[in-house]
Structures are given as C-alpha cells and as structure tokens.
C-alpha cells in the first residue's frame, strides 16, 4: 500500500515533485514486498513511466529511533547556498508527501518492555512534522508536505504514559510490589496529528463453488475494504468506504536479490 500510494500521488503531481518515505526496517520492507506479490507492481515496474515515478521516491530505512531522529534533523532541501548539493542528506526539492512506514517495529523488542512510553512513539510523528515545517518553500504558494502513516499494529499497540518506576533496593521489602503503569492505546494518541484515519480489512468471501468455509482469499484474489473517517472537529460523521479486489501471482518468489 505505501508504494502504491506514492505512485498514485506522483502520477498526478507536477513533473519534478518527489515523495519521502521512511521505513523502520529494510528487511521487513523487502519481505513485505515479496509477500505482497502484487501483480500491478510486477507489471508496472517494467514500464518506463512507472520506473521514472519510482525514481522520484526517496527511501530511507533508519534502523533505530535515534537514527530516525538524526535523519530527520539532518535532512534539508537543496538551495543555491548548499556547499555540497550531492550530499545524501540533501533532498532535491520539498517533498509533496512524507510517508512513515511501520514505526511500531521499534517497539517490538520484548527486552525493552517498560522502557518505552507513549511519547516515544508520538515523537516519531512530531519529528517528521517538525522537519517538514523547517524546510524552506521555494515560493510562498508552495504547500507543506502532507504526512501519511502506515502502521499495521497501530490499533493494537499499547504503551505506558510513564516509565516503570524502579524500586530503591534499601526501601523495598519482600511484600512490596510495584504496580505496572497503565497502558494507553497509541491510536488515540496519534489521531490528533492527522485529518483522516483509515482502516483496511480483508473481506471474507465464499468460494466460487459455494462449498467450504468463508475465506479472504479465493482463487488467488483477495477482497479488501478501507474505511476513512475525518477527524476534524464538526466532520466526525464524514466517512468514506471503498472495497476492491487484488490479484496475486500464484508463483511467490522466495526472496529479493
């Protein structure tokens, strides 16, 4: 989905506009493309027009939250005064859109449970917003980049508001135990930063022969449904529903080169 969105935006954008995409894991990003096995992408990537659109997507894979923050603080838009316009941290132009992919990957380490808090996740979004506001526009009429977040765990990820207090060895007794901090859903904390919240689900369908159980994958085709709800005050009732079918290749590649 993130790659398809980037292609759709660039297809209708003026020539020269670009998209910035941040993915939390290069390995997961590549594996997701393999598992997606999207026929449209397979067919389109051999097309010169699609290849040109793909070349206008600047993709980075910061391996940790610190790298994510460092990257966003270092990125800048090229200007006439740049001493090194070929630097890896110089964007050719103000991106039309910033796409954040799967930041919940940074919070999947079981060894860090209790060390991560809700504000750590929110900071990944606000860092991207702050960076986009700091980049100069070439003209007063230029729009700021739109921000899009893709996270498959956003609706189930919960983090504490405050970190687990560490007991003092000299004060703790055998009968004392610390109550774990209350967990809060990340989705509710991030809604305020976006105008629209989109949820994508698979639709269960019956096999064509009428037999068997309901499935979301019939004859290699998968039905999807997306529901988009506006979060702006006074427009909470604005809801858009779409559904579509995706065809997948039967021969799944084992790995990307």
Q: What is the 3-state secondary structure (H, E, C) of 88-141?
A: CCEECCCCCEEEEECHHHHHCCHHHCCCCCHHHHHHHHHHHHHHHHHCCCCCCC
The lowest-confidence range among 9-23, 59-73, 229-243 is: 229-243
**For residue range 186-220, what is the model confidence (pLDDT) as tens digits?**
999 998 899 988 888 888 765 555 555 545 555 56
Specify whether the CB–CB gap between 245 and 222 falls below 8 A: yes
Task: Name the more confident of 94 and 143.
Answer: 94
Query: How far is 195 from 12, CA to CA, in rounded Å?
Result: 21
Domain parsing of the chain, residue ranges: 2-165+174-192, 195-206+215-257
Q: Which fold has domain 2-165+174-192?
A: Rossmann fold (3.40.50)
Question: Mean pLDDT across the chain, nearest whole number?
Answer: 80
Of the candidates 200, 57, 72, 58, which has an alpha carbon nearest to the alpha carbon of residue 133?
Answer: 72
Q: What pLDDT, on the 0 to 100 scale, is given for residue 22?
A: 97
135-154 pLDDT tens trace: 877 655 667 899 999 999 99
Closest CA to 23 of 70, 64, 56: 64
Q: Are 180 and 164 within 8 A, CB to CB?
A: yes
Q: What is the pTM of this model?
A: 0.79
Residue with tokens 């996740």: 121
CA distance 70 to 1: 26
Of 173 and 240, more confident:
240
Sign of CA dihedral 251, 254, 255, 257: negative
Indicate the Cα dihedral angle 10, 153, 205, 230, nearest 10°.
-60
- The answer to whether 100 touches 194, Cβ cutoff 8 Å, is no
* Cα within 13 Å of Cα(86), Cβ side: 0
Q: State the pLDDT confidence band at 20, using cuts at 50, 70 and 90.
A: very high
Find residue 240's DSSP bridge partners.
228
* DSSP character at residue 209: T
Rounded Cα–Cα distance for residues 109 and 107 (Å): 6
How far apart are alpha carbons 50 and 30 in whole angstroms? 19
Judged by phi (left if over 0) then psi (alpha if -120 to 50, else beta), residue 158 lies in beta
Segment 28-87, tens digit of pLDDT: 988 888 887 777 777 766 677 888 888 999 999 999 999 999 999 999 887 655 556 556
CA distances from 154 to 40, 75, 157 (A): 27, 26, 5
**39 with 221: CB under 8 angstroms?**
no
Q: Which two tokens stand for residue 172?
A: 């703790």
> Residues of the chain with pLDDT > 90: what percent?
31
């Amino acid at each position: 989905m993130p790659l398809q969105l980037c292609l759709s935006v660039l297809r209708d954008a003026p020539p020269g506009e670009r998209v910035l995409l941040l993915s939390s894991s290069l390995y997961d990003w590549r594996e997701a493309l393999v598992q997606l096995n999207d026929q449209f992408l397979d067919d389109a990537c051999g097309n010169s027009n699609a290849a040109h659109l793909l070349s206008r997507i600047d993709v980075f894979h910061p391996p940790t939250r610190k790298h994510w923050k460092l990257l966003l603080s270092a990125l800048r838009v090229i200007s006439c005064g740049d001493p090194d316009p070929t630097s890896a941290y110089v964007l050719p132009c103000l991106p039309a859109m910033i796409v954040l992919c799967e930041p919940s990957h940074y919070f999947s380490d079981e060894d860090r449970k209790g060390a991560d808090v809700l504000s750590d996740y929110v900071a990944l979004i606000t860092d991207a917003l702050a960076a986009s506001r700091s980049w100069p526009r070439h003209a007063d009429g230029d729009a700021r980049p739109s921000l899009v977040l893709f996270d498959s765990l956003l609706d189930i990820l919960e983090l504490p508001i405050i970190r687990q207090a560490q007991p003092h060895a000299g004060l703790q007794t055998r009968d004392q135990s610390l109550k774990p901090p209350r967990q809060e859903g990340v989705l509710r904390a991030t809604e305020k930063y976006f105008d629209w919240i989109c949820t994508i689900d698979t639709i269960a369908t019956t096999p064509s022969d009428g037999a068997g159980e309901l499935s979301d994958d019939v004859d290699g085709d998968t039905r999807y449904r997306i529901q988009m709800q506006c979060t702006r005050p006074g427009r909470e009732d604005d809801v858009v529903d779409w559904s579509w079918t995706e065809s997948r290749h039967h021969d799944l590649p084992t790995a990307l080169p």
